[in-house]
């Protein structure tokens, strides 16, 4: 197979969704067809199976390729090898290998046998008449041919079909006579010019000549990876008539030498030598009476050379092809492969499309009407098998005509490829296709690291395409039920509730039982968005079957047609019609068919019963069960390996004959090829990880297979065999016992299945094992193996993480961890979740993963030795052997799992400016500097909506309506009301403000649900709108020269209260906006208001001022509450308004409510080492959380008079936002795109010791590792020096370097081999002190133990 880079025109057609013509698919497989006769090449085939094939397989695996050998003569009897259908099957398999194989595709083993010429199974009418005319003078020959062939009028044109004999006893002689008669007739017909040379070959060529001609001699573009190994026995002619020699050559039925066959063999060898001498590898053996015997030294040497030549040539051909691929490597080849795959499936689906014209016209009209304005996506729904996929494909094909304009059409048949089976891959491929189609920048690598960023990019991309004068974009996503993450979720998080102009999203989903359709209705609430796909009419159903028959060049007799229509009364389900066609196409005109099943389920059971009758119940049951049981499907090579491990199947196969080898045992591939051909349309081929996997094509067939074959213990057995295969338990020479019926004693045989290491090479991971093995361990009940070999193995965790990213690794823990009753697995999962921000930021490097994980899990190594302790030991062993410089933790120093940190979210591109909780729906709403809003589902820990619309920074969000609605206010002077469940915007309000960026940034948003009014105060104006109608209630304009600094809505007094910069208190009616009074502050002089908070129960507003005063302001006047030493930075009250916190400088003071207002609650203030930015009370008033500019969050106990309970690490920037929801608190910063969610119930649980927190982000180690230097907290002009041996502060020094530089001791760190340790500004969770650095395998810097918790923080 040779695939070059795509032309620009082809790439553009693919990107725009044009299906014709399609380039050849890419392949990552090496499939070699082995051609040989059955009886004289046993030794050669076994020698290749034993040594050569495994070597080539290992070589292919190291290069990321899957290896498959197709030897249809292995393990079968001679009668099966010469079966009438075998030639056809062999040529089909040969074509498949040539089409899909990288490098070698065909190897022939040619000796001194030509092999039998099978009788053709089918003769076309004209050819039949030519033969018949030559046999007219031989009545007995004519009678034999007429008896063995029967005319089939259902073929177009009619054909004559070979009829099987009733008994095996008469088969041999009559078969030979029939072959001779047909050869005679063909010879005479060819002489008279009645048939062609190609037709003459059908009666003279053996199977091996057909294969060599197809795989080598008929090629017009070189040998295409073909090799012929020729074995010539010296002096064979001298012994040709001896009994032992006759076993090596062709014989007639009477045992005599078949001279015709020998002449044809000589001619075949001559053709090869003349046309393709370069592929010929000749071996000359001395004559021996024992044929080819490995015990004979000369023969053993020959077999060894044969294997070495096979390996060398195959590996060379693979390498050459890989070099060609690399030289012509197509950028983003994976994307074009994905698009091509879905367009190819679409072309197949629309071949026989009929009916639905009215529905197509209605959909086209709807699309045209909505093209110019925002609209809802469309959903096509109906029961399985109703024809939704064909309709979606037809829509994609006709989209430019339906819309009446040029379009870019993106089509994905979900579940039909790996990328379309999960939301991450699906969105990534769509974003890449849309960007390339419109010439837009591709999503950057940082976006692709986190699914939340991809979701945001997708939503932004739709609006970008809409805003520009581009062609319309149409995205069609068929079968939403087949996206794994959607089926497991409560919502469809990436689904936009509204499409912008010129953007169309069309989805399909199954109806009839609870599922994805119900989930989608929560997001897409417009009932007109849903279009039911109804059954075809009776006439349309008949038309569909007629089209299918015509496409397959078949027809039916009148009686058969009547029976077919009678079996399908008014059946308009295309899936059921397709099943009926698959049965009817097999009917010959002389067939008397049985009535067909009336339902799709019965028809599928009927299909299974027919397959069982033909191929055996056990084989059919196990093959279909393995395919259904696999997570993503199985390749042909994998399936044959799995069947070779299935003792039940092998015992059934070798019930009547013994296998050809005494050392190895394999499943005969021919039996699978026959079954695969009869399965036909039931199998789908899906690209997964670069390989083509087989899967069941129809959901209903999958359900029947599960019901019929996978009930009870059978399910666990099938998964057990698959687990054995993917674990590599019986690979690399490990033999497996089996007792075959004809042997009667246990045999320990090598099954020669593919090895399954985690890494095939330093850079090539075993992706198939990573995806499949955990799935099968769970479903086979092998939980201990899952715990020890997968979720509790550092090798597995690092391989899965490096090859599939942190999200894929976490997904595995989420999928399989709940099956284990093991809290330690939860600890590992939580530790990985804590590692996620660093890995997404820096990339999934193995050293980072090992360092992060060990530094978090080391706390639990002693208390949880079974799993966590084992993981820590594995990590430490890896560090000892690591040949590269790496940071080695000697203890736990990063935030451990099981602590307060519940999640870190990194979905936003800009800093976070507003947050609000929906406690009832467990949602967190986040507003950002770029105007976007993200809605996070706390249970799923993913973005469920990206709310687009604001063009300026989101300043405030308010969640209400029992957690289902949110109001957002932005610097673009708009308010927007959103439905949090659907993500749809209900209305937009413009507040009438100017675009002047110098406008004051004092914002206040208040929602009065009782009165259904929303109030917005900004600068010198206050506006009120009706929450239901968005109509303006009133608008108040103040004095622009004396802006309002604080505003409160006092609901109990129906009053709006404002305090201006100049100290003027104004009172307004909250119902009408009329002025009720105005006075100056009496308790405050020469101070400017800085912050305020309303106390509804007291009907007052607490106001803070620039020189530290705190005043209680009410409609009746004001009074001084407290005088603080510094300006008041913020004021917050508890939920029940019984507590007040005031922030100033580095401190927070707590007040308790009383009848007069508030009084001081504690004698001491809560202290930070840097300026305090924000605070918040817990829901039960027993905790207060404070956050400071040095990115630290401190948790204090109010029930213990301000005891410091814990210090938490923020997001590497000043914490400016805190939001409570029960025991959860979210923290964020305007300077960071990340936010963290903490669960503060942890304070009541036993915890690991808290790591020492390095808040500076800058650390240096002295040349001998004795001292550690870092800037002093709160005063970065000073450097704190730690004595690492005494763990005590040794002194202070003035930093001569600027504050943003690290102080480095004298001497060249690089030249002397001394290393500088720094902690990233973006990821500062803990000190890098308890660690050492390995350079190669020698530690450079000694262990620096962390400061005990009871020691005071160094103060400089």
- pLDDT tens-digit series, residues 762-800: 999 999 999 999 999 999 999 999 999 999 999 999 999
The predicted structure's pLDDT at residue 803: 92
Nearest to 224 by CA among 233, 237, 215: 215
Question: Under DSSP, is residue 849 helix (H, G, I), strand (E, B) or coil?
Answer: helix
Where residue 103 falls (left for φ over 0; alpha for ψ -120 to 50; beta otherwise) is left
In DSSP terms, 1218 is beta-bridged to 1227
- The residues of the chain scoring below 70 in pLDDT are 1-4, 78-84, 166-172, 223, 241, 243-246, 485-490, 570, 907-909, 993-1002, 1243-1258, 1272-1277, 1284-1356
Angle at 75 between CA 69 and CA 78, to 5 degrees: 115
Question: Which residues have CB under 8 Å from 488's CB, separation 6+?
Answer: none
Distances (CA, A) of 468 to 376, 401, 436, 461, 733: 20, 22, 15, 11, 62
d(CA 306, CA 229): 8
Is 261 within 8 Å of 111 (Cβ atoms)? Answer: no
The structure tokens listed for 972 are 């673009």
Q: List the Cα angle 108/111/114 in 5-degree steps.
A: 85
Whole-number Å distance between alpha carbons of 852 and 1275? 29
For β-strands 226-233 and 106-110, DSSP reports them as: parallel
Q: What are φ and ψ of residue 375, in 5° steps?
A: -155, 165
The DSSP output letter for 760 is: S
Q: What pTM, to 2 d.p., does this model score?
A: 0.85
Q: What share of the chain is helix, strand, coil (3-state, %, to 5)?
A: 35, 25, 40
Nearest alpha carbon to residue 94 among 502, 673, 518:
673
Contact yes or no for 1343/901 (Cβ under 8 A) = no
**In terms of Cα–Cα distance, which of 1139, 1137, 1100, 1142 is closest to 1117?**
1100
Beta partners for residue 1188, in sequence order: 1172
DSSP secondary structure, 221-234, as one string: SS-SSEEEEEEEET
Q: Residue 437's closest CA among 411, 417, 401, 456?
A: 411
d(CA 1094, CA 1133): 8
pLDDT of residue 1250: 56
Helices and strands of the chain, counted as H and E runs: 37, 57
DSSP state of 1330: S
pLDDT digits (tens, 9 = 90+) for 1020-1064: 889 999 999 999 999 999 888 888 899 999 988 899 999 999 999
| Integer Cα distance of 919 and 962 in angstroms | 8
Residue 333 has a pLDDT of: 86
SS (H, E, C) 614-673: HHCHHHHHHHHHHHHHCCCCECHHHHHHHHHHCHHHHHHHCCCCCCCCCCECCCCHHHHH
Contact status, residue 649 vs residue 665, Cβ threshold 8 Å: no
Kindly write down the DSSP assignment for every residue of 19-84, as one continuous string.
-SS-PPPP--EEEEEEEE-SSTTHHHHHHIIIIIHHHHHHHHHHTT-EEEEE-TTTT--HHHHT-T
Q: Is residue 792 a contact partner of residue 763, using CB atoms and an 8 Å limit?
A: no
What is the per-residue DSSP string for 308-359?
HHHHHHHHHHHHHHHHHHHHTPPTTHHHHHHHHHHHHHHHHHHTT--S-HHH
Q: Is 186 exposed, middle or buried (0-12, 13-18, 19+ CB in 10 A)?
A: buried
Asked if residue 724 lies in contact with residue 646, where contact means CB atoms within 8 angstroms, the answer is no
Q: Which strand (E) or helix (H) includes residue 194?
A: none
Euclidean distance between CA atoms 1114 and 1055, whole angstroms: 10
Nearest to 1351 by CA among 1301, 1279, 1282: 1282
Which residues does residue 691 pair with via DSSP β-bridges, in sequence order?
A: 688
Report the run of H or E that residue 999 belongs to, with start and end.
none
Distances (CA, A) of 177 to 145, 173, 182, 252, 257: 10, 6, 9, 11, 17
* Residue 383 DSSP symbol: -
C-beta separation of 495 from 379 below 8 A: no
Distance CA 414, CA 908 (A): 27
CB atoms within 10 A of CB 301: 12
Is the CB of residue 19 less than 8 Å from the CB of residue 347? yes
Q: From the CB of residue 910, how many other CB atoms can be counted at a distance below 10 Å?
A: 16
Pairwise CA distance, residues 627 & 565, whole Å: 33
Strand ranges in 1161-1318 using DSSP code E only, listed in sequence order: 1166-1167, 1172-1177, 1183-1188, 1192-1197, 1203-1209, 1217-1221, 1224-1228, 1235-1239, 1260-1261, 1267-1272, 1275-1283, 1288-1294
DSSP 8-state class, residue 290: T
In sequence order, the 6+-apart residues with CB closer than 8 A to the CB of 1156 are: none
CA distances from 1228 to 6, 1218, 1301 (A): 47, 7, 26
CB 467 within 8 A of CB 473: no
Beta pairing partners, 33: 70, 106
Residue 222 to residue 212: CA distance in whole angstroms: 14
Cα separations (Å) of 85 from 91, 166, 208, 476, 819? Answer: 10, 17, 14, 42, 48
994 burial level (CB within 10 Å; 0-12, 13-18, 19+): exposed
Q: Rg (Cα) of the chain, in Å, rounded?
A: 39
Which residues are within 8 A (CB) of 180 and not within 5 positions of it... i.e. 6 or more apart?
none
∠ at Cα 568 (564, 572), nearest 5°?
A: 125
Residues with Cβ within 8 Å of 1321's Cβ and at least 6 positions away in sequence, in order, are 1212, 1257
Distance CA 1319, CA 534 (A): 62
Outline where DSSP puts E strands in 1155-1248.
Answer: 1157-1160, 1166-1167, 1172-1177, 1183-1188, 1192-1197, 1203-1209, 1217-1221, 1224-1228, 1235-1239
- Degrees to nearest 5, angle at CA 1001 with 1000 and 1003: 115
């Amino acid at each position: 197979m040779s695939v070059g880079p795509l032309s620009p025109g082809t790439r553009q057609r693919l990107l725009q969704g044009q299906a014709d013509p399609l380039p050849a698919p890419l392949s990552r497989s090496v499939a070699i067809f082995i051609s040989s006769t059955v009886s004289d090449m046993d030794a050669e085939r076994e020698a290749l199976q034993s040594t050569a094939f495994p070597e080539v397989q290992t070589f292919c695996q190291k290069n990321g390729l899957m290896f498959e050998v197709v030897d249809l003569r292995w393990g079968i009897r001679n009668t099966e090898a010469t079966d009438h259908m075998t030639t056809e099957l062999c040529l089909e398999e040969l074509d498949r290998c040539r089409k899909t194989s990288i490098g070698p595709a065909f190897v022939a083993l040619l000796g001194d046998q030509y092999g039998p010429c099978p009788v053709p199974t089918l003769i076309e009418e004209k050819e039949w008449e030519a033969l018949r005319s030559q046999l007219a003078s031989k009545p007995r020959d004519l009678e034999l041919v007429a008896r063995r062939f029967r005319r089939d009028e259902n073929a177009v044109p009619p054909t004559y079909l070979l009829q099987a004999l009733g008994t095996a006893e008469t088969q041999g002689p009559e078969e030979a006579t029939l072959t001779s008669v047909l050869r005679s007739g063909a010879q005479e017909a060819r002489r008279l010019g009645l048939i062609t040379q190609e037709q003459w070959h059908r009666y003279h060529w053996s199977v091996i000549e057909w294969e060599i001609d197809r795989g080598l001699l008929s090629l017009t573009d070189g040998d295409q990876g073909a090799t012929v190994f020729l074995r010539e026995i010296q002096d064979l002619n001298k012994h040709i008539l001896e009994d032992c020699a006759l076993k090596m050559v062709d014989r007639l039925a009477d045992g005599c030498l078949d001279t015709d066959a020998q002449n044809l063999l000589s001619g075949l060898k001559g053709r090869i030598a003349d046309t393709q001498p370069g592929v010929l590898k000749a071996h000359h053996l001395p004559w021996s009476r024992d044929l080819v015997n490995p015990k004979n030294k000369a023969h053993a040497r020959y077999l060894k050379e044969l294997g070495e030549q096979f390996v060398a040539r195959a590996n060379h051909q693979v390498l050459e092809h890989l070099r060609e691929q690399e030289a012509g490597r197509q950028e983003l080849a994976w994307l074009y492969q994905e698009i091509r795959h879905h367009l190819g499936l679409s072309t197949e689906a629309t071949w026989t499309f009929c009916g639905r014209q009215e529905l197509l016209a209605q959909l086209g009209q709807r699309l045209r009407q909505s093209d110019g304005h925002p609209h809802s996506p469309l959903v096509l729904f109906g029961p399985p098998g109703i024809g939704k996929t064909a309709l979606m494909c037809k829509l994609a094909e006709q989209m430019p005509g339906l819309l009446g304009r040029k379009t870019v059409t993106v089509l994905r048949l979900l579940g039909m490829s790996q990328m379309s089976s999960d939301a991450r891959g699906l969105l990534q491929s769509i974003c890449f296709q849309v960007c390339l189609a419109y010439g837009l920048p591709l999503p950057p690598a940082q976006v692709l690291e986190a699914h939340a960023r991809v979701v945001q990019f997708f939503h932004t991309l739709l609006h970008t395409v809409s805003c520009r004068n581009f062609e319309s974009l149409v995205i069609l996503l068929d079968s939403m039920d087949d996206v794994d993450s959607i089926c497991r979720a409560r919502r469809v998080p990436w689904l936009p509730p509204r499409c912008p102009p010129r953007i169309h999203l069309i989805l399909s989903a199954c109806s009839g039982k609870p599922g994805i359709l119900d989930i989608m209705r929560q997001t897409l609430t417009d009932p007109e968005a849903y279009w039911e796909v109804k059954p075809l009419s009776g006439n349309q159903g008949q038309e569909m079957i007629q089209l299918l028959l015509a496409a397959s060049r078949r027809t039916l007799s009148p009686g058969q047609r009547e029976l077919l229509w009678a079996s399908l009364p008014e059946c308009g389900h295309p899936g059921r019609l397709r099943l009926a066609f698959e049965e009817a196409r097999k009917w010959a005109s002389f067939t008397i068919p049985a009535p067909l099943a009336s339902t799709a389920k019965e028809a599928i059971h009927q299909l299974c019963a027919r397959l069982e009758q033909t191929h055996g119940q056990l084989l059919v049951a196990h093959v279909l069960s393995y395919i259904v049981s696999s997570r993503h499907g199985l390749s042909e090579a994998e399936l044959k390996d799995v069947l070779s491990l299935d003792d039940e199947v092998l015992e059934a196969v070798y019930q009547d004959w013994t296998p050809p080898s005494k050392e190895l045992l394999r499943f005969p591939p021919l039996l699978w090829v026959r079954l695969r051909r009869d399965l036909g349309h039931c199998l789908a081929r899906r690209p997964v990880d670069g390989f083509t996997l087989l899967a069941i094509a129809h959901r209903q067939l999958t359900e029947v297979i599960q019901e019929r074959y996978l009930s009870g213990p059978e399910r666990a057995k099938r998964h057990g065999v698959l687990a054995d295969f993917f674990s590599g338990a019986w690979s690399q020479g490990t033999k497996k016992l089996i007792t075959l019926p004809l042997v009667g004693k246990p045999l320990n045989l090598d099954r020669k299945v593919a090895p399954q290491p985690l890494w095939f090479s330093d850079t090539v991971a075993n992706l198939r094992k990573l995806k499949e093995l955990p799935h099968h361990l769970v479903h086979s009940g092998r939980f201990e193996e899952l715990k020890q070999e997968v979720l509790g193995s550092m090798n597995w965790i690092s391989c899965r993480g490096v090859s599939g990213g942190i999200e894929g690794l976490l997904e595995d823990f989420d999928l399989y961890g709940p099956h284990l009753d093991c809290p330690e697995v939860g600890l590992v999962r939580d530790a990985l979740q804590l590692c996620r921000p660093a890995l997404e930021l820096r990339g999934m490097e193995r050293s980072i993963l090992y360092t992060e994980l060990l530094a978090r899990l080391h706390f639990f190594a002693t208390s949880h030795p079974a799993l966590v302790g084992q993981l820590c030991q594995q990590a430490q062993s890896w560090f000892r052997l690591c040949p590269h410089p790496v940071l080695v933790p000697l203890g736990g120093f990063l935030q451990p799992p099981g602590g307060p940190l519940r999640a870190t979210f990194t979905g936003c591109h800009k800093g976070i400016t507003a947050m609000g909780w929906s406690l009832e729906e467990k949602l967190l709403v986040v507003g950002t500097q770029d105007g976007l809003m993200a809605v996070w589902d706390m249970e799923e820990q993913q973005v469920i909506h990206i709310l687009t619309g604001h063009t300026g920074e989101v300043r405030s969000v308010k969640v209400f309506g029992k957690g289902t609605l949110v109001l957002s206010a932005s610097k673009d002077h708009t308010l927007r009301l959103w439905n949090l469940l659907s993500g749809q915007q209900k209305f937009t309000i413009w507040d009438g403000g100017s675009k002047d960026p110098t406008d004051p940034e004092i914002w206040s948003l208040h929602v009065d649900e009782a009165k259904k009014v929303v109030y917005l105060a900004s600068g010198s104006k206050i506006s009120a709108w009706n929450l239901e109608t968005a109509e303006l209630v009133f608008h108040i304009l103040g004095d622009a020269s004396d802006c309002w600094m604080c505003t409160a809505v006092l609901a109990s007094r129906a009053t709006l209260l404002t305090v201006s910069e100049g100290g003027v208190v104004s009172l307004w009616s909250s119902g009408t906006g009329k002025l009720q009074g105005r006075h100056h502050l009496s308790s405050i002089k020469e101070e400017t208001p800085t912050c305020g908070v309303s106390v509804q129960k007291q009907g007052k507003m607490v106001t803070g001022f620039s020189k530290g005063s705190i005043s209680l302001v009410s409609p009746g006047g004001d009074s001084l509450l407290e005088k603080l030493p510094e300006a008041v930075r913020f004021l917050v009250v508890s939920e029940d308004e019984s507590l007040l916190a005031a922030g100033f400088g580095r401190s927070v003071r707590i007040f308790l409510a009383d009848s007069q207002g508030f009084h001081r609650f504690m004698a001491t203030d809560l202290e930070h080492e840097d300026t305090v930015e924000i605070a918040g009370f817990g829901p039960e008033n027993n905790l207060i959380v404070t956050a400071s500019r040095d990115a630290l969050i401190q948790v204090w106990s109010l029930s213990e008079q301000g005891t410091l309970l814990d210090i938490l690490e923020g997001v590497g920037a000043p914490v400016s936002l805190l939001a409570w929801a029960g025991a959860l608190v979210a923290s964020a910063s305007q300077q960071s795109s990340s936010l963290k969610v903490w669960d503060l119930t942890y304070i009541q649980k036993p915890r690991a010791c808290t790591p020492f927190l390095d808040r500076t982000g800058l650390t240096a180690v002295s040349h001998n590792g004795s001292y550690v230097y870092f800037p002093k907290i709160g005063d970065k002009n000073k450097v704190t020096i730690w004595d690492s041996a005494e763990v005590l502060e040794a002194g202070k020094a003035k930093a001569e370097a600027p504050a943003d530089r690290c102080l480095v001791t004298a001497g060249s760190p690089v030249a002397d081999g001394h290393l500088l340790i720094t902690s990233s500004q973006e990821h500062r969770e803990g000190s890098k002190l308890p660690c050492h650095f390995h350079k190669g395998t020698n530690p450079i810097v000694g262990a620096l133990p962390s400061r005990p918790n009871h020691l005071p923080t160094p103060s400089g």
